Structure 1
Amino acid sequence: MNKRHTFTAKAVLAGAAMMVGSSAVAQTELDFWSWRQEDVAAYNEIIAAFEETHPDIKVTYTAHPATEYNTIIATALAAGEGPDIIHTRSYGGLEVLAKPGYLEPLDEQVDMSLIGDVAKIGTTLRADGHVYAVPFASQTVLVFYNTDIFAAHGLTPPETWDEFKAVATQLKEAGVIPLANGSAEGWMLEIMSGALLPNFYGSEFFGEVTSGATDFEDPRFVGALEKMAELKEFMPDGYQGVDYATMKQLFASGAAAMFVGGSFEIPGFRDAGVNFDIIAGPAAEAGGERMVATWLDGGYGVNAASENKEAALEFARFTASQEFGQMLTDKLGNISPIEGAVSSDPTLAKISELQGASTPYIMLVAYRFNTPTGSTLIQNGLQEMFAGSKTPAEVAHDVSEGIKASE
């Protein structure tokens, strides 16, 4: 949709529709695009709260398929079109939109004093240091488990890798799928790796590999991949054809007892009526490190070519407010980066506690800036590993060489 062509007509029609007594109130219409299809109802509620205090602005939220969103938004912006408000990805995903000038720099136009510097790294363009989107939410990779199934089989949440495999074995012998995760979609294998690998390669690895002190052929990383490969026997039958939707359905229906996913899954599992709890990925051994991987999930940007830029900036200011942060926490079940947004939800409180021992979600945070991205490399490699066509060492080699070639 091209605002240059539709703005005048929209303004006239909106003005006619907003007649109050003998005066007309002009209403600016903003389009807001996102990939968060599961959040449509919640965003509409949040938008309604904004519109109550901004009766001259109407916001329409459109959610596109997550796997197609990057292409959809990039294509629209390259054509000089697209929405006024853009739900951006973070880190490298942000840079591909900000670097060509598609996004409006916000740090001098939006008060982000309630948002910490670490969160803003994910929406900052490295080339000029400007912030191009208001940070959205932090996400955490976790292991979900069905509390009813665990209770029925007398199981306690595993703390170590050996305990994790022992629990999975007992579930499998009882006719329950231990792990809902499949390998049809590479991005979900990357999620799985984010939950399981760090406790094997350790808290020092991220800093060492990003500084060049080591690479992904480091024995710690290869060994972590070898451990992850041990889970094949606990995944669903035909796991190579099990996609994201099927994974969630297996867990939500009670067919599978555990699911490795992001904290963004919480609202959906609750809506499905699942009795679940969460744990960090298991420690490599008793007393070992037990971390969760975290990342900034994205931000709210403004189309630099928008005909409605001032109204869009007003909405961006709203997304940086404590009011918005609280609504995002309460309605979306996400941990907001905005100071003062506190959740009474015990699960979110537990995630906040788990984040006290965290490591960056490595490929997203550090290696999504160049082509091929680290995520593409690890996703392809993990699919090959689970298909049996490559060994963990070969996957690590390909990842390491691919990242070096992209730098």
Structure 2
Amino acid sequence: MKTITRTSGLAAALLASTVLFAGTAIGQEVNFWYHFDNADNPMSDLVAKFEAANPGITINAENVPWNSYYDQLYTSIVADNGPDVAMVKMTAQPRLIEMGALEPIDDRLAGWAGKADIQDDLFNLTAAADGTHYYLPVQYVILYLYYRADLFADAGLTPPTTCDEFRSAAVALTKDTNGDGQIDQYGFGFRGGKGGHDHWASFTVSRDGVGFGPGELTSAAGVAGTQFVLDLFQKDKVFPPSAPNDGFKEVIGAFQGGTTAMTIHHIGSSADMVKALGDKVSAVPVPECGGGHWTAFGDESTAVFSAAEDKDAAWKWTAFLSSEGNNAKFNEATGQLPVTKSDTANWTLHDKRFVDATTASLPFAHLYPNVSETADFTNTVWPIAMQRALIGEITAEEMNAEIDALFNK
């Protein structure tokens, strides 16, 4: 009788094991880390929807404060108690790969019906250096050119598509509007302080053969790009005098107040723009300069971690967040754009002209080099060099040489 009992127990155990490993584990939990600042957080609704469609999988979603997000993420991975899935940026990818923390998803992508609905170029932008995919895009922004449609109309101008057209428009829109002999309207609001590297890059890194590789910025084309920016300020005087020190607040405030007619930012500021200006504000892709376009891509993806106990369940949740409808709900909270073509076509959170400017910019959107030097570039090297160049302390060639030396030691 005992033998039969043991056999029955073994059979039951084998049956349970078969059920457990035949697909997603019964009763499996997926720990998900994300960061939302918006108090109107839709995550509980998304979790409930997913769990209803996937019985046996429980999603433990934890909203981790942004200020400590990556510190906690790296620490948890080392301690072997990290999440199964988490929101991640491209700047974190090299380190996460080096830590062996990420699960490749190429095989899963190949069999995922939702792949065709993801915006073109996003998989190229989020691939690792060797072409492997670890990230599934979940939201994004791209910088474009904001312009004051009312000021352009008054001057009989159309939005610029090239650097030559940009300069001509900026010169025409720099004027004394009240006849007191003082310039009170400028063609472009340039961000010379921290964060303005995106403005500079659109005029410089767009040029043929120019990038952050050895000697590219110090080439004739690279120097010409920075000189173009300096000439706009020093010779054409189409930037406000405060440009060397202007940050985001100053640049956006001047644009909304009519002090400047153009500036560069992304869709995240469009709601405030429309609130202040209505139909007087519009947007187009940044102009072509020196043979090409270049604009900055702001990314956010989700990744399955290699330590996840049930990678099938983790992938199901990851794919769910980047699927039609769910991705729209997700991005209603973040204020960024959905990654699905279907949700983008029906998107109403941002005015269509800003969505169109963003999607039209996807083919030439880029990321800065995924290396540790990029943090020094954005925080110290570029703003200090740019300010010194604008006020004439160093030349365009000297500025570019400093940046080249940082990236190519």
| Cα distance change of structure 1 residues 343 and 102 upon mapping to structure 2, 3 Å threshold | same
- Tell me whether 1:86 sits opposite 2:86 in the alignment: yes
Deviation of the 1:312 alpha carbon: 4.4
Gaps (5+ residues) in structure 1? 1-25
* Match of residue 266 from structure 1: 270
* Match of residue 126 from structure 2: 123
Deviation of the 1:77 alpha carbon: 3.9
Q: How many equivalent pairs are there?
A: 355
* Match of residue 326 from structure 2: 324
- Tell me whether 1:277 sits opposite 2:279 in the alignment: no
Distance 1:85 1:273 in 2: 40
Kept in 1, the 8 Å contact 2:304–2:314? The answer is yes
SS at match of 2:382: helix
Gaps (5+ residues) in structure 2? 1-26, 53-57
| Cα distance change of structure 1 residues 297 and 124 upon mapping to structure 2, 3 Å threshold | same
SS at match of 2:384: helix
Deviation of the 1:84 alpha carbon: 4.8
Distance 1:62 1:177 in 2: 42
Kept in 2, the 8 Å contact 1:137–1:297? The answer is yes
Out of 168, 175, 178, the residue aligned to residue 170 of structure 1 is 175
More displaced 10-residue stretch of structure 1: 329-338 or 312-321: 329-338
Give runs of aligned pairs for residues 55-74 of structure 1, distance below 5 A. Answer: 56-57=58-59, 59-65=61-67, 70=70, 73-74=73-74
SS at match of 1:260: strand
Out of 329, 352, 372, the residue aligned to residue 346 of structure 1 is 352
Give runs of aligned pairs for residues 3-402 of structure 1, distance below 5 A. Answer: 30-34=31-35, 37=37, 40=38, 44-45=41-42, 48-54=45-51, 56-57=58-59, 59-65=61-67, 70=70, 73-80=73-80, 83-90=83-90, 92-109=91-108, 111=112, 113-114=115-116, 115=118, 118-126=121-129, 130-148=132-150, 150=152, 154=155, 156-159=157-160, 160-170=165-175, 173=182, 175-176=184-185, 178-185=187-194, 188-198=195-205, 201=207, 204-205=208-209, 215-232=216-233, 233-252=237-256, 256-270=260-274, 275=279, 276-282=281-287, 291=293, 293=295, 295=297, 297-305=299-307, 312-327=314-329, 334-344=336-346, 345-348=351-354, 350-351=356-357, 354-355=360-361, 358-361=363-366, 364-365=367-368, 367-368=369-370, 370-373=371-374, 376=377, 380-388=381-389, 389-402=393-406
Distance 2:270 2:202 in 1: 16
Kept in 2, the 8 Å contact 1:125–1:132? The answer is yes
Question: What letter corresponds to residue 343 of structure 1 in structure 2?
Answer: A
SS at match of 1:169: coil
* Match of residue 9 from structure 2: none
Distance 2:222 2:255 in 1: 29
Q: TM-score, normalised by structure 2?
A: 0.69
Kept in 1, the 8 Å contact 2:267–2:358? The answer is no
Distance 1:195 1:103 in 2: 32
Distance 2:46 2:395 in 1: 53
Deviation of the 1:30 alpha carbon: 4.4
Deviation of the 1:48 alpha carbon: 2.0
Q: TM-score, normalised by structure 1?
A: 0.69
SS at match of 1:170: coil
| Cα distance change of structure 1 residues 338 and 60 upon mapping to structure 2, 3 Å threshold | same
| Cα distance change of structure 1 residues 340 and 70 upon mapping to structure 2, 3 Å threshold | same
Question: What letter corresponds to residue 361 of structure 2 in structure 1?
Answer: Q
SS at match of 1:205: coil
* Match of residue 19 from structure 2: none
Distance 1:251 1:139 in 2: 20
SS at match of 2:174: helix
| Cα distance change of structure 1 residues 295 and 162 upon mapping to structure 2, 3 Å threshold | closer
| Cα distance change of structure 1 residues 280 and 196 upon mapping to structure 2, 3 Å threshold | farther
Deviation of the 1:278 alpha carbon: 0.8
Deviation of the 1:375 alpha carbon: 7.5
| Cα distance change of structure 1 residues 270 and 76 upon mapping to structure 2, 3 Å threshold | farther
| Cα distance change of structure 1 residues 311 and 148 upon mapping to structure 2, 3 Å threshold | farther
SS at match of 2:282: strand
Q: Which protein has the larger Cα radius of gyration, Structure 1 or Structure 2?
A: 2
Question: What letter corresponds to residue 120 of structure 1 in structure 2?
Answer: F
Deviation of the 1:393 alpha carbon: 0.2
* Match of residue 11 from structure 1: none
SS at match of 1:156: coil
SS at match of 1:394: helix
Deviation string 1:161-213 (CA, Å, 9 cap, x unpaired) is 3323314422785524654443331xx222112332356x2xx425xx6887x
Distance 1:79 1:270 in 2: 47
Deviation of the 1:384 alpha carbon: 1.3
Distance 1:282 1:81 in 2: 47
Deviation of the 1:304 alpha carbon: 4.1
SS at match of 2:283: strand
CA RMSD after TM alignment: 4.1
Kept in 1, the 8 Å contact 2:139–2:339? The answer is yes
